Amino acid sequence: MRRHSLCSAAALAAVALGAQLTLAQPLAAADSKCQLYAPNSKDREAFEPYNQLDITLSAKDAKTKLAALKKTTETASPEYNRTEQFGGWEPMDHKLTVRYKVKGAWVTKEITRSKDKEKCGTDLAVLYRDRIEDQAFNVKDGECRVTQGTWDSAYDKKRVSRAKKNVHNQVVNIDHMVPLKNVWESGGFKWYKSSSEKAKLKKIANDLVNPQLLAVTSSCNQSKGDGVPGGEGKENWEPRNKEYWCDYSRAWVEVKDTYELTVADGERTRLAEMLGECG
C-alpha cells in the first residue's frame, strides 16, 4: 500500500490525467450500481486496495470509541442543505495538508495553489494521493481537471481508468466516508449555529488528515449517497467488498470520534458487527 507525494502545481501540469471530479451525490442507495468485482488473471494477478486510508484506531480501540459515542437524540434543524451548509471543495489558495505513504511510512505535506491552477482543490489532492503510481497521471493546464489516471476502488474491488476504455467503463469520484447529511444530522447542525464552530462544516467536508475522503468508483459513490451502516430503509449502506469492512468501520468510528458526532442505535449495532471482521 502507498501514498504519493504531492508535487508542485507546475509538476502536476507536466503529467497527464483525466477523471470526473464530483462530491458524493445524495442519491438513494442502489446496490445494483455497486457490484463486487473479482479480478481475474486478464486484469491483474491480485487486487490491492491502494487507496487505504490513514486509520489510526485499532479494531479494539474503535470498539471502545464506538461504545462511548453519544446516541443521536435530537432532530437536526434547519434541514440539511449541502451547498448552503458545507459549500464545495476548498480551493488551492488555502494550504492543504495531505498524508501519504513513502516506502511504507506516512508523510504529511502541504500543497498550495499556483496562479495557473486556480481551480485546484481538495478533490484533486485526493485523486493525486490515491492514484496508482506506476500509471500515467495528468492534469489539464489552468483547469486542474484530471485527464489521465488509474485508481483501485476498495468498495467494489474495481480498477478505474479515465484516460482509456476499460472493462468496467467507470469513472472515479471522491467519497465522504461519513456522508455530509449524516454529519449534519449527528451534530453538524449545532456547529452551524455557533460562530466559533461553524468552520468545522467546511473542515470535515475537505478533511485530508482524518480518514474521511477516498477515491472510489462513481457507481459506488452514487449507490452509497447518504447511506449509513445500519441505516433505515434506503439509507442502509455498506461496501459490497466484505474484506474492506474492518477498515471501513474503523475509519467511520474515527471520524465520528474526532468530530464528536453522535450515532443512531442501528448504526452503532452494525458498525460493531463490521468491526468483528477485523479478526
Weakly modelled stretches of the chain, pLDDT under 70: 1-32, 38-52, 92-102, 106-119, 136-144, 162-170
Query: Which 3 state secondary structure label does DSSP give 148?
Result: strand
Cβ-contact 49, 154 below 8 angstroms: yes
pLDDT of residue 166: 47
Cβ-contact 185, 76 below 8 angstroms: yes
Q: Give the ranges where the chain is alpha helix by DSSP (H).
A: 9-14, 59-68, 82-86, 122-130, 180-183, 189-192, 199-205, 218-224, 245-258, 265-275
pLDDT of residue 38: 61
Say how far residue 168 (Cα) sits from the centre of its chain.
20
How far is it, in rounded angstroms, from Cα 56 to Cα 6? Answer: 21
pLDDT of residue 102: 66
pLDDT of residue 230: 97
pLDDT of residue 255: 98
How far is it, in rounded angstroms, from Cα 163 to Cα 179? Answer: 28
pLDDT of residue 246: 95
Cβ-contact 241, 154 below 8 angstroms: yes
Cβ-contact 17, 137 below 8 angstroms: yes
Identify the sign of the CA torsion 152, 157, 160, 166: positive
pLDDT of residue 8: 35
How far is it, in rounded angstroms, from Cα 260 to Cα 279? Answer: 26
Q: Side chain identity at 85, as an amino acid letter?
A: Q
pLDDT of residue 159: 85
